[in-house]
Structure 1
Amino acid sequence: MFIIFLVFLLGSFRVNAQTESENPIEEEASGKHRLTILMANAFIPAADNIAGQSNMFIVPAWGINYDYWINDRIGFGVHNTLILQQYKIEKSREEIIIERSFPVVITGELLFIPMENLLLSAGAGRELEKQESFTVVNLGVEYGFELGKGLELSLNLLYDNKIDAYDSWMFGVGFSKFFSRTARKK
């Protein structure tokens, strides 16, 4: 999956040669790309009452997100999260205890900016793990602080629902880099 992500990311950049012309060239933005690295903690309520685990079960997580912005307010992305710990959960409705070992969540996201610095996201995808994988739907809120030169620091809150399994909440700090593509008009 990482190779597919890397090929997609690298294939999205273009190199433009510039030549001098008698007519001035006007540049306009035709899309923005954003790459984010996220450090987070995930709260997993279904792991609370399992013997051998604390009552407030919080695990570390890392995320790598790629977003493409269609315009100033709407975009879509591929978001990937890795939980950095093994844990046990009680699967909802079945009361079966399942061990999770470093699960990876991969989702496709729809992104919307209702006001400056605030981003809302909704997505669906899959949590992959060697014993059992689950379908995931999520909702997220992000508040960004522009650092200049295409860099941004953000606070993130994300709710994941693993269908017929368990839920989790994630709070993290993201560091983003924006990349622009330009089109030329005469």
Structure 2
Amino acid sequence: MEKERCKWCLSSDKMMQYHDEYWGKPVHDDQELFAKLVLDLNQAGLSWNTILNKMENFYAAFDGFDIEKVARYDEAKYESLMQDAGIIRNKLKIRAAINNAQRVLEIQKAFGSFDAYIWSFVDGKSIQHKISDEAEVPASNELSDRMSKDMKKRGFKFVGTTVIYAYLQAIGVINDHADYCFRNAELQ
């Protein structure tokens, strides 16, 4: 019998795999938290499918999202990223990724890890939304507003409340799998 999934992921096998294996699964690795932040900020104004189809290219172009390496990118590396057709060639988004790597290093010094900072907003526990109709899923909420404001104050770029809400869903801080979806129960 076919597993029932959130309707948003049914458009392709790649989307279903992302949904089944990654979306909403709690992430606690700083490098992966940074990677997902960069991928989500690149999604702004685009479909997730666009990002998903370029994900391998992003990992290659950004040195596996090694935070220290990305934080040290110079103008020559920025220019090479601007020429890389395999990623989103948006100068503000590329500059934001480099800037945000530098901010993550500051967070690590202040909090011990990026993970400790991110999960401190929810006392280390995922928020379990009860979603029966995917149209009920908001684009932002009080948590994404609060985190976005704090991150902006710390110098992060491209971290508006909508980007942060999508990020929180992706890294499992918020479980927005529909109640009929098989992943919802697995992530409780």
TM-score past 0.5 threshold: no
Larger RCO: 1 or 2 (CA < 8 Å, sep 6+): 2
Larger CA Rg, structure 1 vs 2: 1
TM-score, normalised with respect to structure 2: 0.25
Higher strand share: 1
TM-score, normalised with respect to structure 1: 0.26
